[in-house]
Amino acid sequence: MNFDPRYSGRSFSSVGTRPLRPDGVDKVTGRARYGADFNMAGQLVGRVLRSPHAHAIIKKIDTSKAEKLAGVKAVITAKDLPDLTDGDAGMFDTLDNCMARKKALYDGHAVAAVAAIDARTARQALKLIEVDYEVLPHVTDVDEAMQHHAPLINDAIFTEGLEEKPVKPSNVSKRTQYGHGDVHQGFAQADFVVERSFKTEQTHQGYIEPHACVASVNPDGTADLWVCTQGHFVYRQHCAQLLGLEVSKLRVTSSEIGGGFGGKTHVWAEPVALALSRKAGRPVKLVMTRDEVFRASGPTSATSIDVKIGARKDGTITAAEATLRYTCGPYAGMWAEIGAMTAFACYKLENVKTVGYEVLVNRPKTAAYRAPSAPMAAFAVESAVDELAKEIGIDPVEFRIKNAAQEGTRASYGPVYGPIGIGPTLEAVKEHPHMRAPLAQNQGRGMACGFWFNFGGQTCTDLNIGMDGTVSLAVGTVDVGGSRASLSLVAAEELGIDYSQVKAIVADTSSLGYNDMTDGSRGTFSSSMATISAARNAIKVLRERAAQMWDISVDDVAWEKGHAVAKGEKHGNLGKLSLKEIAAQSGKTGGPIAGHSELVADGAGVSFATHICDVEVDPETGSTRVIRYTVVQDAGKAVHPTYVEGQYQGGAAQGIGWALNEEYIYGKDGRLQNPGFLDYRIPVCSDLPMIDTQILEIPNPNHPYGVRGVGETSIVPPLAAIANAVSNAVGVRMSHIPMSPPRILAALEAEREG
Amino acid sequence: MQEADGHYKESLYNGRSDHDHQGETMRYIRPQSIEEAAGLLASAAGPAAILAGGSDLLVRMKGGFIEPELIVDIKAIAGLSEIKETADGFSIGAAVPCAVLGENAALKKAWPGVVEAAKLIGSKQVQGRCTIVGNLCNASPAADSVPALVAAGAKAVVAGPNGRRTIPVEAVPTGPGRTSLAKGEIIEAILLDKRAPNAGDAYQRFIPRTEMDIAVVSAGVNLTLGEAGAIKSARVALGAAAPTVLLVEEAAEVLVGSKLDEATLERLAKICAGACRPIDDKRGTIEFRRKVAGVLAKRVATTAYERAGGK
Amino acid sequence: MAGVAVSTTINGDHVEYLCQPDETLLDVLRDRLGLTGAKEGCGTGDCGACSVIVDNRLVCSCLVLGAEAEGRQIETIEGMAHGDQLHPLQQKFLEHAALQCGICTPGFLIAAKDLLEKNPSPTEEEIRFGLAGNLCRCTGYDKIVRAVQDAANVMKGA
Amino acid sequence: MVQVTLWGSLSAAAGGKDKLDIEAKDIRELFRKLAEQHPAFEPLLDRGIAVAIDGTIYRDTWSKELPPGAEIFLLPRLAGG
């Protein structure tokens, strides 16, 4: 790859404008095809039988009655998905999560599946499968699971990362530590120390589209999978590995995706659908119900976090420490580790230490959720930061500005920062009119900061120029919210043509080289880099063709504003050749014109945001309404500012839901009590105010246009911003998320009773 | 079993079902008369369900909680989709969607509390389907329209194989998910009295969001004022505070004779909080429900009083 | 199980189908008639993604039986544009980027159409409460509300 | 010769050391030598390790050169949403 990704500081004509998205009309007319909107001839209906127990040994599964039911074409259990993971522990966990092998590890864990001629028959068949369970004691709470007497979920797990190798298995799969300096010394220098404990409940990504796929496996080992996913190439790898298929023979097409937010980065039902199709010899459509989505897919960690921060009278933080315990579901994970890395990333700290514990519980396997693990850590840290500012008697914005990380600061997770946006977002907040708007009784204002890494990764893009001069752009990163528009803008910018001349699509796995998923805020960052590279390769071809048409040396041809231009005095008589003119002649000058790119887009710049929030609390009921909200975030360069705003607003809304009402509620029996949108309360339209946004552009030095990822950071600050606002409104420090009315009212009552 | 609207759901999901009914013989019938409907229900061999709005029935069918052998759609029965204004008051047919209640100006003027309660069930979409009779017969302790109907002194006209009877609405639900209706019986209509002058009713519920939730706790108050503006008669009902709607007579006694001064409101709150027999569940705690029941009673009584022309 | 023969009108077209007694209108639209614009987000009336209009009433098609459609007038997202002319709401949703993933969009458009037909000049609060039965997880609703406001202005002027 | 700082749980794989001096011109050579000198790294490399060079995190660009004097951190490869 001889592509130079460095920021060039150029000016733009397309990038930064706000055209309509290329997939828009299909989506407003109902024509866009999502996971469940696709059908194949002879297709069967797949359904999954799930454990009603939080923790149970599967002694025996008798499928004989179900198999005999007329219309049932296949019944599968773990036996039909043999372990082909070859010692890959992570893939084995994925396999076991798709279909429980020896034990059911959570309420909703798949234990068997059927494929039948229709939904009714499939449903009846599930009832005929007899599963003999030996119910075991279970544990769902993060702190309880860490106790020595807690029911053990996996006796092969011994805590990693301890100085001495443990002799007994544990529900703690790993301990990790980050930081630098000496926190003991740091706290000794502090005039004020705040030490608090916090809890956050488990939330779900809450995408409106349930997981859905259509799988078709042929006897010759070729297979097709239509699926809603954030990464069809990754799904292909995983499904091929779990099913023993050859990667190139499994073609995966990503449907339009009805929301993912991290929840569609893992395979769940897809290997099951493929196994059913293989056994039945017919295509199988498998669509999760909403109940299954909540019980068996998705959620983020529940957490328990202790934070201690010390500062001098002048407002300088001298030391910061946190212990973070995150649930992983019943399999090992690295969620607390990410929390430990991100917790203090906003600050310039000489002495910092964070310790993370990954905790196994009888809940669904934790999946990434938008800046995974960062919001909970930020809730704890930013709440404590506000408390500390209050104790010192310094304005919370000033306090943060004084301690904000900057270029050259050693991040709490290790490396030294390049140019970053935390300071500028804080300065912008300080000057924002929202900060000076008046507040009424029982209203309060809070603010908080957030950080996320952002990723790049493997990317492949094709750019084909039609004979009419229009451009089709094929990318392999799934478009979750407008990236086809952004990438078309980038192609138009680079080629020097109009946006309307470019049409971007997401290609299937057989049409393009491997792409990483749309996760880690990487979609636009990495695919725009590959698009720039592909466009530059196409320009090289365009110049060659123009040189042919003029019969001059290609060295004498430059590309300017969508045209080939002949350079040098001897070519003074040659007019410009437009892309369209060159394309029209392409059949006679060497065939189709295309640019291709495969690269690893690394160097995604880290991202920071600061949010301001006003709430009104009803002191008699504890009911809290967000009445004004402002997001300030660094985008590096906003390619399509409207969709950047959309990411800011969407992340804030998800954070507001998490802060106030969303939570997994388990009964004493370990069963999920609220697996539906009625009682898992995501914000509705009337719950929210307009969400104001301010885009800052601090260019990422590692992207030609300065682009940073923008998708995730916006969910990080809201939990703390709202907690700080509630504290300022009614004087209670909420340490348990969600701050539901019963929790707030109980805190208010406790405060009144002194 | 009467059809049910109002989103009350017992947990009984995939893998948890203890129903064995195979449902291979399910029938959908749209009778033309109440007698035909009652006859169908009375002679059904397996579980039978009445369908009006379907906003509870279909949810329960989807979840596998019920697989009826017979679905009786009562919307084609003459008169059941109408609100009639009579000399005695209003008769609201069993198949009238809640949205229609809000579009009836006379009903809204006479019984604003009943209408605002009915208009709180579910979303706009659910409003277009759900009925107050379904809400009543679903027998959820948290049903929104029921406390308002009980406070209003509404009556239910029950038609069955043995003719018709009229009973107070509070006599319909007997516990969560259970009613006093016999096999073959259908509630044909809800009756509301003609409104006395200087009377007003109101209903409020507490929900964590602003819409789309089930009441965590709720209160309905119906007041009639005397000539001097003092409360002459009162009915106070609480929802989601006990297995069935609570008609709190002690609370009504406190209100009668008062002009709803601060002290009366405080006593009302205390009595209502004390009258609650709530449970801890996913929607709220016992403590929370008690406190908020009192808070809502105060707020609702104040609104009802203003609507009655008080202050 | 006996199928129910249904004769109905969908987007102005006469349609006949046979469905099972327990089949929802949503299932019929999607699986029997190929009208997949209405989406199933929950199947319990809590998300509004399956919104359609039946006899001028906004409903969740997951809470209506297919058999109940007999003799009704049904409007779905597929009938919202007139030929190649998008409805003003569709146009404004595009212009305001009122969709990200777009799964909720058909339901929002149908609900917003119903809202504006009944209340051509809604306040922001009326829009927010009027659309509270439709869940969106991507946008935070901001751009949806603005698109509806803008469409209302255009439609009043038209 | 570059000095590599190991972060988080990685130092356990190097026998508790959190800094290593390694002769390597790019990430590929660094990883190869790490695996040679400390076999416990091999499964960790399979799981994925990211390299921060002067603050910029590289997850997959194994051809990335390690400039002399650059600050080099090894971090776990993270998941995003």
What string of pLDDT tens digits covers the 158 residues of chain C?
578 999 999 999 999 999 999 999 999 999 999 999 999 999 999 999 999 999 999 999 999 999 999 999 999 999 999 999 999 999 999 999 999 999 999 999 999 999 999 999 999 999 999 999 999 999 999 999 999 999 999 999 86
- Per the structure, the complete domain to which residue B181 belongs is given by 83-193
Per-residue model confidence as pLDDT tens digits over A643-685: 999 999 999 999 999 999 999 999 999 999 999 999 999 999 9
Give a yes or no: residue A628 inside a domain. yes
Nearest CA in chain B to C19: B28
Q: Are B27 and B71 in contact (CB under 8 A)?
A: yes
Give a yes or no: residue A623 inside a domain. yes
First to last CA, chain B: 45
Residue C93 shares a structural domain with residue C136: yes
User: Which one-letter DSSP state was computed for residue B31?
Assistant: -
Of A209, A682, A691, the CB nearest to C39: A209
The candidate with the shortest Cα–Cα distance to A336, out of A324, A346, A344, A345, is A324
Amino acid letter for position A164? E
Contacts of B152 (CB under 8 A, 6+ apart): B111, B113, B114, B192, B193, B201, B220, B222, B235
Per-residue model confidence as pLDDT tens digits over A684-734: 999 999 999 999 999 999 999 999 999 999 999 999 999 999 999 999 999
C144 CA to chain B: closest CA distance, Å?
17
Residue A470 shares a structural domain with residue A585: yes
pLDDT score of B22 more than 50: no
Give a yes or no: residue A635 inside a domain. yes
- Per the structure, the complete domain to which residue A746 belongs is given by 428-448+605-754
Residue A624 shares a structural domain with residue A732: yes
A518 CA to chain D: closest CA distance, Å?
8
CA angle, A574 as apex, A573 and A580 as ends, to 5°?
160
* Neighbouring subunits of D (3+ Cβ pairs under 8 A): A
Distance (Å, whole) CA A733 – CA A729: 10
Of D54, D58, D79, the CB nearest to A602: D58
Give buried/exposed letters for A467-482 (b at 16+ CB in 10 A, else e): eebbbbbbbbbbbbbb
Give a yes or no: residue B9 inside a domain. no
Contacts of B142 (CB under 8 A, 6+ apart): B6, B8, B214, B215, B216, B218, B239, B240, B283
Contacts of B2 (CB under 8 A, 6+ apart): B50, B133, B134, B136, B137, B179, B181, B185, B186, B187
Per-residue model confidence as pLDDT tens digits over A293-321: 999 998 999 999 999 999 999 999 999 99
CATH number for C49:
3.10.20.30
Dig out the tokens for D18 from the structure.
């959190």
Q: Are C22 and B61 in contact (CB under 8 A)?
A: yes
Give a yes or no: residue A377 inside a domain. no
> Is C118 exposed, middle or buried, given 0-12, 13-18 or 19+ CB atoms closer than 10 A?
middle
Distance (Å, whole) CA A412 – CA B79: 72
The answer to whether the CB atoms of D78 and A90 lie below 8 A apart is: no
Distance (Å, whole) CA B127 – CA B120: 8
Measure Cα distances from A622 to A550, A738, A745, B253 in Å.
77, 12, 4, 29
Beta bridge partners of B163: B160
Q: Which helix (H) or strand (E) holds A304?
A: strand A303-311
Per-residue model confidence as pLDDT tens digits over A581-611: 999 999 999 999 999 999 999 888 899 999 9
Give the relative orientation of helices A374-392 and A335-342 as an angle to the nearest 10 degrees.
Answer: 30
More confident residue, D70 or A231: A231
pLDDT at res. D38: 87
- Sign of the Cα torsion A118, A121, A124, A130 reads negative
Quick one: residue A32, left, alpha or beta (phi over 0 = left, psi -120 to 50 = alpha)?
A: beta
Per-residue model confidence as pLDDT tens digits over B291-304: 999 999 999 999 99
Residue B100 shares a structural domain with residue B147: yes
The answer to whether the CB atoms of D80 and A520 lie below 8 A apart is: yes
Mean pLDDT of A621-636: 97
pLDDT at res. B307: 97
CATH number for B129:
3.30.465.10
Starting from the edge strand earliest in sequence, which strands make up the sheet with A250-254, in order?
A72-76, A110-116, A44-50, A284-287, A212-217, A223-227, A250-254
For chains A and D, what is the number of CB pairs under 8 angstroms?
108
For chains A and B, what is the number of CB pairs under 8 angstroms?
88
pLDDT at res. A5: 92
Which residue among B193, B209, B229 closes a domain? Answer: B193
Give a yes or no: residue A394 inside a domain. no
Which residue among A555, A578, A601 closes a domain? Answer: A601
pLDDT score of A2 more than 80: no
Residue A683 shares a structural domain with residue A575: no
Give a yes or no: residue B280 inside a domain. yes
Interchain CB contact of B227 with C (< 8 Å): no
Interchain CB contact of B125 with C (< 8 Å): yes
Residue C8 shares a structural domain with residue C38: yes
Model pTM score = 0.96
The domain tally of chain A equals 2
Of A18, A31, A290, the CB nearest to C44: A290
Give the DSSP per-residue string, A450-488: EEE----EEEEEEEEE-TTS-EEEEESS--SSSHHHHHH
Q: Are B224 and B308 in contact (CB under 8 A)?
A: yes
Q: Are A580 and A468 in contact (CB under 8 A)?
A: yes
Residue B88 shares a structural domain with residue B186: yes
Per-residue model confidence as pLDDT tens digits over A498-517: 999 999 999 999 999 999 99
Give a yes or no: residue A576 inside a domain. yes
Give a yes or no: residue A221 inside a domain. no
Mean pLDDT of A410-433: 94
- DSSP H stretches of helix in B50-203: 57-62, 98-103, 105-110, 112-118, 124-127, 132-137, 145-152
Could you tell me the pLDDT band of residue A744, with boundaries at 50, 70 and 90? very high
Q: Are A126 and A114 in contact (CB under 8 A)?
A: yes
Nearest CA in chain B to C131: B124
Lowest mean per-residue pLDDT among A106-110, A412-416, B127-131: A412-416
pLDDT at res. C158: 67
Q: Could you report the predicted ipTM of this complex, rounded to two decimals?
A: 0.96
The answer to whether the CB atoms of C77 and A207 lie below 8 A apart is: no
The fraction of chain A above a pLDDT of 70, given in percent, is: 100
Distance (Å, whole) CA D61 – CA D81: 21
Could you tell me the pLDDT band of residue B16, with boundaries at 50, 70 and 90? very low
Interchain CB contact of C60 with A (< 8 Å): no
Measure Cα distances from B275 to A377, B241, B243 in Å.
42, 8, 13
First to last CA, chain D: 37
The answer to whether the CB atoms of C102 and A258 lie below 8 A apart is: yes
Give a yes or no: residue A673 inside a domain. yes
pLDDT at res. B9: 35
Interchain CB contact of B153 with C (< 8 Å): no
Q: Report chain A's mean pLDDT, rounded to a whole number.
A: 96
Nearest CA in chain B to A125: B22
The answer to whether the CB atoms of B59 and C63 lie below 8 A apart is: yes
pLDDT score of B23 more than 60: no
Nearest CA in chain C to A686: C128
* Neighbouring subunits of A (3+ Cβ pairs under 8 A): B, C, D
Distance (Å, whole) CA B84 – CA A512: 67
Measure Cα distances from C137 to A20, A428, B213 in Å.
21, 27, 17
Question: What structural domains does chain D harbor?
Answer: 2-76 (3.10.20.30)
Residue C46 shares a structural domain with residue C71: yes
Could you tell me the pLDDT band of residue A163, with boundaries at 50, 70 and 90? confident
Dig out the tokens for B114 from the structure.
């009943």
B75 CA to chain C: closest CA distance, Å?
9
CATH number for B285:
3.30.390.50
* Neighbouring subunits of C (3+ Cβ pairs under 8 A): A, B
Could you tell me the pLDDT band of residue B24, with boundaries at 50, 70 and 90? low
Residue C105 shares a structural domain with residue C136: yes
pLDDT score of B7 more than 70: no
Which residues of C sit within 8 Å Cβ distance of B?
1-2, 4, 20-22, 24, 43-46, 48, 51, 54, 57-60, 62-65, 67-68, 70, 111, 114-115, 129-134
Distance (Å, whole) CA B111 – CA B104: 11
More confident residue, B19 or B197: B197
> Is A69 exposed, middle or buried, given 0-12, 13-18 or 19+ CB atoms closer than 10 A?
middle
Give a yes or no: residue B8 inside a domain. no
A674 CA to chain B: closest CA distance, Å?
7
Per-residue model confidence as pLDDT tens digits over A246-294: 999 999 999 999 999 999 999 999 999 999 999 999 999 999 999 999 9
Residue A488 shares a structural domain with residue A518: yes
Q: Are A350 and A318 in contact (CB under 8 A)?
A: yes
pLDDT score of B17 more than 60: no
Residue B205 shares a structural domain with residue B293: yes
pLDDT at res. D62: 85
Residue C97 shares a structural domain with residue C133: yes
pLDDT score of A402 more than 80: yes
- Cβ-based contacts of C63 with chain B (< 8 Å): 53-55, 58-59, 125-126, 129
Per-residue model confidence as pLDDT tens digits over B158-180: 999 889 999 999 999 999 999 99
**Phi/psi of residue A186, each to 5°?**
-60, -45
Which residue among B175, B193, B211 closes a domain? Answer: B193
pLDDT at res. B14: 35
- Cβ-based contacts of A681 with chain B (< 8 Å): 208-209, 212-213
Q: 């060159």: which residue's tokens?
A: A582
Distance (Å, whole) CA B117 – CA D34: 70
pLDDT score of A192 more than 90: yes
- Per the structure, the complete domain to which residue C50 belongs is given by 4-79
Which residue among A572, A601, A630 closes a domain? Answer: A601
Which residue among B145, B164, B193 closes a domain? Answer: B193
For chains B and C, what is the number of CB pairs under 8 angstroms?
99
D7 CA to chain A: closest CA distance, Å?
7
Measure Cα distances from B249 to A739, B252, B269, B272 in Å.
35, 5, 13, 10
Beta bridge partners of B164: B159
A33 CA to chain C: closest CA distance, Å?
8
Question: Which 3-state string (H, E, C) describes chain D?
Answer: CEEEEECHHHHHHHCCCCEEEECCCEHHHHHHHHHHHCCCHHHHHHHCEEEEECCEEECCCCCCECCCCCCEEEEECCCCC
pLDDT score of D17 more than 50: yes
- Give chain A's radius of gyration (CA, Å): 27
Residue B232 shares a structural domain with residue B173: no
Residue A536 shares a structural domain with residue A435: no
Which residue among A601, A622, A637 closes a domain? Answer: A601
Distance (Å, whole) CA A525 – CA A610: 21
Per-residue model confidence as pLDDT tens digits over A431-460: 999 999 999 999 999 999 999 998 888 999
Per-residue model confidence as pLDDT tens digits over B228-286: 899 999 999 999 999 999 999 999 999 999 999 999 999 999 999 999 999 999 999 99
Nearest CA in chain A to C27: A119
The domain tally of chain C equals 2
The domain tally of chain B equals 2
The answer to whether the CB atoms of D78 and A455 lie below 8 A apart is: yes
Number of Cβ within a 10 Å radius of residue B256: 15
Residue B98 shares a structural domain with residue B177: yes
CATH number for A513:
3.30.365.10
Distance (Å, whole) CA A660 – CA A742: 11
Which of A602, A654, A700, A703 is the best substitution to test chain D (most D C-beta atoms within 10 A)?
Answer: A602
pLDDT score of D12 more than 80: no
Could you tell me the pLDDT band of residue B1, with boundaries at 50, 70 and 90? very low
Distance (Å, whole) CA A518 – CA A529: 14
- Cβ-based contacts of B17 with chain A (< 8 Å): 127
C54 CA to chain B: closest CA distance, Å?
9
Which of A114, A201, A290, A291 is the best substitution to test chain B (most B C-beta atoms within 10 A)?
Answer: A291
pLDDT at res. A1: 47
Residue C75 shares a structural domain with residue C94: no
The answer to whether the CB atoms of B15 and A123 lie below 8 A apart is: no
Give the DSSP per-residue string, A664-685: --B-TTS-BS--STTTS-PPPG
- As separate numbers, helices (DSSP H) first and strands (DSSP E) second, chain B gives 11, 14
